[in-house]
Structure 1
Amino acid sequence: MSRLTIFEDGRPGDPVLRTEEPAAIRDALAPIGVRFERWESPVSLSPDEAPEVILEAFRPHLDRLMGETGAGTADVIKLRPDTPNKDALRSKFLSEHTHSEDEVRFFVHGSGSFILHVDGRVYDAHCTQGDLISVPTGTRHWFDAGTEPFVTALRVFTDTTGWVAHYTGDDIADRFPAA
C-alpha cells in the first residue's frame, strides 16, 4: 500500500504526518511540486515480462505522459533480489542527489520509497504498483527499494541519455533507516 510519512527538521522520530490515502498523499506532496497519482490501468502483466512488452502495454499511458512532460524517451528498470549488481545500484540510489530534469516513475510491480529532502522536512513517499510520482528538477532526494528489492518501474526522461545524478554530499540519507 502507498504511504507518505513526513518528518520535521530532517530527523527521524515522530512523524508530522503519516497517511495511506492516495488523495492525502497527492495533496501533501503538491505544495513541494511533486506529482503523485494512482493509475487504474486495465494492463495486467506478469513480473517476468520483458521490458519491451511492458513498454508496449503502457504505450497509450506513456504517450500521454510524455506529451505532458515533453519527455523524449522511456525505459523499464527491474530490481530483484537476484539482480547481479543490486547492491551497487542500491548504493548509487541511496545517496542524496538531484537531477537536471523531473524524475518521473510509474510503478508496474513491487514498491520502493522516494525520500525527498525539502525545506527542513523529509518526505518518505513509499510507492507501490499503480503509483506515478514525478519529482521536480533540483529536488534533493534518494530512493530505496530495500535490501531484497522487488520493483519494476517505467522511467520517463526528457534527456535521452537517461538517469544522471548530481550528488549533494549531504549525509542526511544516513540518518534515516533504509528499507
Structure 2
Amino acid sequence: MAILTIPDKQTVINDPAEIKSFLNARGVIYEQWEAAVPFADDADQDTIIGAYAHQLKPYMESNGYQTADVINVTPDHPQLEMLRTKFLSEHIHTEDEVRFFVDGEGMFWFNLGGGEDIFCVTCQAGDLISVPANTKHWFDMGPKKFVKAIRVFIDQSGWVPHYTESGVDQQYNLN
C-alpha cells in the first residue's frame, strides 16, 4: 500500500482512496492490483506478467501501451548504485512512466511546479503508478533497495531520462 508524503507540510497520507484522489487530481494515475494466481518469489517474467494479465492487458490496450517487462533489483545487484543514481536526479520522459510494484518498494518524487509542494509517493507491492509524459520527477529505491516491478511502455526509447538539472532533488534525496 502506497504512502504519500509532503515533506514541507509534514504531511503523511496512508489512505489509498485519499492517495488516489490526490494523485488523480494532478494527472498521476494510481491504482491497486492483485494477482489472479499465486506465484513464487523467484517466478520468471512470464509468470509474473501472466498473474496480472487480467488487469495489465486491458490497461495496456486502453492506453496504447505495446510492451511490458519485469525489473528485479535486489540489494546484492552488482550495478545497484549505478541503477539507483541514474534516476535520483530530477528528469522527465517523453512517454508515461508506468510501474506496477510486484514486490519491494520505490519512491517517486514529484515537482509539478505552479505553487504545488514537492511530494513523494512510496509505492509498494500491489501499487500501480503512471507518471505522465513530461512530468518533472525522480525515483529512489528507498532504504530497502529492492524493487520488483512490471514496466509498461509504448516504446522503450520514450523512457530515456531527460535531466532538468534543477538541483531541487538534492534537498529531498536519501543518502
TM-score (norm 2): 0.91
1:141 counterpart letter in structure 2: H
Residues 21, 148 of structure 1: alpha-carbon distance in 2 compared, 3 angstrom cutoff = closer
Residues 84, 155 of structure 1: alpha-carbon distance in 2 compared, 3 angstrom cutoff = same
Gap runs ≥5 in structure 2: none
Identity across the alignment (%):
43
Aligned-residue offset at 1:141: 0.4
Q: Deviations over 1:12-65 (max 9, x none)?
A: x442x3210000001111121001111133333222212222122222322111
Q: Which residue of 2 aligns with 1:122?
A: 118
CA contact (8 A) 1:47 1:152 kept: no
Number of equivalent positions:
173
Q: Which residue of 2 aligns with 1:58?
A: 52
Q: Which residue of 1 aligns with 2:146?
A: 150
Gap runs ≥5 in structure 1: 8-12
1:59 counterpart letter in structure 2: A
Aligned-residue offset at 1:164: 1.0
In structure 2, distance between residues paired with 1:3 and 1:135: 16
Q: Deviations over 1:123-144 (max 9, x none)?
A: 1001110001011111000111
1:69 matched to 2:63? The reply is yes
CA contact (8 A) 2:35 2:51 kept: no
Alignment root-mean-square deviation, CA: 1.7
TM-score (norm 1): 0.89
CA contact (8 A) 2:112 2:136 kept: yes
Structure 1 segments of 4 or more deviating over 4 A?
A: none
